[in-house]
Amino acid sequence: METKLASPWVKVIEGLKAWARINSPWVIHYNSGSCNGCDIEILATLTPRYDLERLGIKIQGSPRHADVLICTGPVTRQSRERLLRIYEQMPEPKFVVAVGSCGLSGGVFHGSYNIVGSIDEVLPVSAYVPGCPPRPEAIIHGVVALLESLKQPA
């Protein structure tokens, strides 16, 4: 049975949800065919110099706990199904950040027989971080830009 709340309450609850979401997004990382370069830069964002965790962002092992999927690399034919499965396991609302030139367009691997293409051909992508590989600052900027965009009322 659905409970209908009075409209001021809905507004308060929605605001609370958005506040919680923006301040502690849990992130899952999947490499769908990347060369590793973006992955080590994502790992570098967690380590002391960049320390993404100070923004409340935590890398999470299970897709069922994650809000944001950080995806690197072009999508290979073999990892396509896995990528979709991970995305489907994530609870709503969910967002995808594509990291690296390959994730954006296929990069140097464009046209190869085993590449499906860029990440946005498989999943809806909310933020794109270009670079080969993007600097850790750029990755942080991408995630923060995504969080900022959530502050706007939908």
Nearer to another protein, 21 or 37 (CB): 37
Q: Is 115 an interacting residue with respect to another protein (CB under 8 A)? A: yes
Q: Is 86 an interacting residue with respect to another protein (CB under 8 A)? A: yes
Q: DSSP letters of 51-114?
A: -GGGGT-EE-S-GGG-SEEEEESPEEHHHHHHHHHHHHHSPSS-EEEEESHHHHH-GGGTT-TT
Q: Is 67 an interacting residue with respect to another protein (CB under 8 A)? A: no
Q: Which stretch binds another protein (CB under 8 A): 1-9, 74-82, 122-130, 144-152?
A: 74-82
Lookup: tokens for 101: 């030139």
Q: Is 144 an interacting residue with respect to another protein (CB under 8 A)? A: no
Nearer to another protein, 34 or 126 (CB): 34
Quick one: 15 exposed, middle or buried, by C-beta within 10 A (0-12, 13-18, 19+)? exposed
Which residues make up the interface to another protein (CB under 8 A)? 28-44, 47-49, 60-63, 73-74, 76-82, 86, 102, 107-109, 111-115, 132-133, 135
